[in-house]
Structure formats: C-alpha cells, structure tokens
Amino acid sequence: MKEQYEDLDEYIADLRAAIASSPDCANHMYNLGVALLSKRDFHGAERSFLDALRKSPRLAEAYVQLGGICLQRGDLDGCLNYNTEAANCRPRFAIAWGNIGFVHLQRGEVEKAVGALTKAVKWDPNFIQAVASLGAAHYMQGNLDESIALSERALKQQPGFGPAYNNLALAWLEKGQGKKALEYAELAAANGFEVPEKFWEELAPYK
C-alpha cells in the first residue's frame, strides 16, 4: 500500500477510481489485485490480475500472482502454468523459476526442479527460498555435499531460515552423522520449521 494511505479500503477505492478514469492502465489493475490479496479477497484479486493481463499480456508479475492464488487453492497445475507464462515473458524472472521449481519438487520431479531452481538462483543469488529448495532437491538426488553447501549458503544469508537447518539435518543423517543431524533438527524447530514426527523418531537414538 502506498505510504500516504493509512486505510487499505481507501487505497482500494482510489485505485478503482483511477481505473474508471484510465480503463487501459494495467498497472492500476495489478496494484488493485495486490491490495485485494492483502484483504484475502482471492476472487477479486484474480479478476484484477486477469484484467491487467488483458491490457498488458506480458505483465509477468501478474502471472506470478495468479500462480500464487492457484497454489493457495491447491492447484499445482495452475501454479505451474501461470509461472511458466511469467518465465516466457521474462526469462530472467527468478521468482517465476523458483515457483516452477517448487511445484516440480512437490510432485517429486526432482530433475526438473533442479533445472528450474538453478535458474532462479542464477538470476537472483539472494533468493533464499530458491537456494534452500535447491539444496532440498540435491538431497533428494543423493547429492549430499552439494545439498549441504547450498543449505549453508542460505543460512549465511539468513541465519534464522528453518528449512535450511532441516535440509542439513536430513543430509547429515544420510551421511551417518546422527548427533550432528539432531543438532540441526533442533535448530530447524527453534527457527519455526515443523520437523515431522517421523524424523524425530529417526533421530531419537542420538539424543
């Protein structure tokens, strides 16, 4: 929301007025979609992003936002399709590639996930979620040293990033370092990551 607005509804009203006076302005429609998302009005936001794309079909950010709405609904196909459109519009759009990688990871399509996440990290080396997700993908491929290196890289950038600690716990347990794995699992939990109960059971002998 713009700094001069203290009330989100006022901002939305002004955006709608701006759209009424400039009906071809895709940016106003996009900003309205973002504002409606803040109110969790997913249907209204979706309409606004689609309106923006009708005016500006290569507005990559709108595709990413629509992908996020699909993900909120549990629609992985929709999320993948919209983010693919975003990447087609802007090939170096790290967020789109990160989201594509996330969907492939959720589906267990690890090789595709590695390809997409590698692009995300290439175009934005500070994209912490993508760095950590790439570490998880390499763990799933059995590339433990690469996984550890990526997770440590993520933690250097953001020391409180719980998923990276969990990745390290998984990798070190796989390497036979149970006590080290337990330490990282505890750090993951301390930093807000919900460590699965089954994993705690695997780590129990090392307490």
Q: Tell me the C-alpha distance between 151 and 165, whole Å.
A: 7
Kindly give the confidence (pLDDT) of every residue in the chain, 207 residues in length, as a single tens digit, with 9 standing for 90 and above: 445 667 889 999 999 999 999 999 999 999 999 999 999 999 999 999 999 999 999 999 999 999 999 999 999 999 999 999 999 999 999 999 999 999 999 999 999 999 999 999 999 999 999 999 999 999 999 999 999 999 999 999 999 999 999 999 999 999 999 999 999 999 999 999 999 999 999 999 998
Radius of gyration for the alpha carbons in the chain, expressed in angstroms and rounded? 20
For 89-93, the CB contacts below 8 A with 24+ separation are 89/58, 89/59, 89/60, 89/63, 90/58, 90/60, 92/123, 93/60, 93/64, 93/123
193 φ/ψ sector (left φ>0, alpha ψ -120 to 50, else beta): beta
All structural domains of the chain:
125-207 (1.25.40.10)
- Alpha-carbon distance of 200 to 197, in angstroms, equals 5
pTM for the model: 0.90
